[in-house]
Structure 1
Amino acid sequence: MCGRFALLGTPEEIEALMGLMDVEAFPARYNIAPTQPVLMIVSGETPPPGSNRPDRRALLVRWGFIPGWVKDTANYPLMINARSETAIDKASFRTAMRHRRALIPASGFYEWRRDGKNKSQAFWIRPKHGGVIAFAGLYEPWANAEGSEMDTGAILTTSANETLRPIHDRMPVVIDPKDFSRWLDCKTQEPRHVADLLKPAQADFFEAIPVSDKVNKVANMGPDIQERVSEGALEAKKPLRQKPPESDDQMKLF
């Protein structure tokens, strides 16, 4: 799964990677948590006149997917991830898979490996080549009973590759830049046409850096949470499913 991630790239880096123009300035975010706003890139409506850039736009989306048909969120689960293998078959995600696919710029993500009943080790997982990458995402507009609207979203996950499997059995789907247009094209590319993109990253794509438990608290938002700590070699053992620490709902949109 993916319960925390980071976005450290500059607006200029994101513009260059995503083919956007005029991305608003924003600070580096080292500890993005569920219910917080996240940046998503989606397909636009019409090609920009006289532009050779792809037609894309940026959205600020609440991380936590809410299907449009949900009336009351009080008893609805917080859906921050969607399993890519089954999303098209799930009532919650079926419409978004067909009509509202997105890219989520990220510099890496955090995962926790359980080392015992009451002990876990956090890892900062980043691309070896550095820079900004794009997770596959879904978004959905949602309106409450008073008519107030917001966009909500989730990260698509897949089975972990052999490098990350000792830590956790799931990882975010990473979309290669050459496939951005195909993934975002919901007009001519049905879910079955882009199913081949929903796969684990190659084994040498990410590196996992053990970090302290500072990342467990959402209030810790500085670069120190990514500092390496002493850690033995990762043992190739069957992972236990591990939820990230609970968010304290900082920046919550509700």
Structure 2
Amino acid sequence: MCGRFTLTAPEKEILFEFGLHDLPVDYMPRFNIAPGQNIWSIIHDGERKRAGLLQWGLIPPWAKDPKIGYKMINARSETAHEKPSFKHSMSKKRCLIIADSFYEWKKEKEKKQPVRIFPQDRKLFAFAGLWEKWKQEEEERFTCTILTKEANEFMGRIHERMPVILPKSMEEEWIKPVKRDPGEVHQFLEQLTMEDLESYPVSTLVNSAKNESKDCIRPLTEME
């Protein structure tokens, strides 16, 4: 599962890395992004890539209660193409979710130690995401979920699942504005390669979504 991540890079680096013209609303670095919050995402509208904020926790168009989104912050890449909640999004509503690290909790004896994880060779990356538009009477929401997969060897020492991080060369293909068979999208995800990761333990400050400061990403050795 992926339940917390960060986006701390300067705005100009985000624009350059993803080939964007601008960010439509004010940008602020985030050190402890949590489910239910708005997160920076990129779609392709058929003419160009466009960045915007999506609420983290996908609400299917048919849902009657928007609270279902809190149960859908992640979608298993192995089965999303078969699930009613995600099949439509897999077909035509794929997005990039911008990040520069994510957190996971490693079991150590009688406690869980939070760890910050990121690719070795790049500062910014994108999770493979799905998005949806939900509308009920006058209320309208644009929401998303992060796809996950079985942990690789590195992540397996920390947690059994991990988010799908798209190789830089595959980002454009993922959000290409074409309708695809969900099974085809599943095969695309299955064939992705994964670059090497790094990690370090951080403070339990990240356990609470109320904590939002640089101390969340500071190595635990510097906090002691």
Question: Given the two structures, how large is their TM-score scaled by the length of structure 1?
Answer: 0.80
Alpha-carbon contact 1:29-1:221 (below 8 Å) kept: yes
2:117 aligns with 125
The CA distance in 2 between the partners of 1:150 and 1:76, in whole Å, is: 11
Alpha-carbon contact 2:23-2:52 (below 8 Å) kept: no
Structure 1 residue 171: Cα displacement: 0.6
- Pairwise CA RMSD: 2.0
Unaligned runs of 5+ residues in structure 1 are: 48-54, 231-254
Deviation readout 1:150-175 (Å, 9 max, x if unpaired): 10110000111111101101111011
Structure 1 residue 130: Cα displacement: 4.0
Larger Rg: 1
Deviation readout 1:103-157 (Å, 9 max, x if unpaired): 011001000012245x21110111222411010000011123x321010110000
Alpha-carbon contact 2:35-2:70 (below 8 Å) kept: no
1:106 aligns with 99
Note if 1:41 corresponds to 2:42: yes
* Pairing 1:127-166 to 2, within 5 Å after superposition: 127-144=119-136, 146-166=137-157
Structure 1 residue 219: Cα displacement: 1.6
Q: Which has the higher helix share?
A: 2
Query: Partner amino acid for 2:171?
Result: F
Unaligned runs of 5+ residues in structure 2 are: none
The CA distance in 2 between the partners of 1:121 and 1:168, in whole Å, is: 11
Query: Partner amino acid for 1:22?
Result: D
* Pairing 1:190-209 to 2, within 5 Å after superposition: 190-194=181-185, 195-198=187-190, 202=194, 205-209=196-200
Question: Given the two structures, how large is their TM-score scaled by the length of structure 2?
Answer: 0.90
Note if 1:167 corresponds to 2:168: no
Superposed structure 1 runs of 4+ greater than 4 Å apart? 74-77, 198-201
Query: Partner amino acid for 1:15?
Result: L
Percentage identity across paired residues of the two chains: 40
Structure 1 residue 228: Cα displacement: 1.7
Q: Which of 217, 223, 227 is 2:214 aligned to?
A: 223
Note if 1:78 corresponds to 2:78: no
Q: Which of 78, 82, 93 is 2:86 aligned to?
A: 93
SS in 2 for 1:163: helix
The CA distance in 1 between the partners of 2:5 and 2:130, in whole Å, is: 16
The CA distance in 2 between the partners of 1:75 and 1:134, in whole Å, is: 24
Judged with a 3 Å threshold, the aligned counterparts in structure 2 of structure 1 residues 152 and 76 are, in CA distance, closer, same or farther, namely: closer
More displaced 10-residue stretch of structure 1: 19-28 or 82-91: 19-28
Alpha-carbon contact 1:161-1:201 (below 8 Å) kept: no
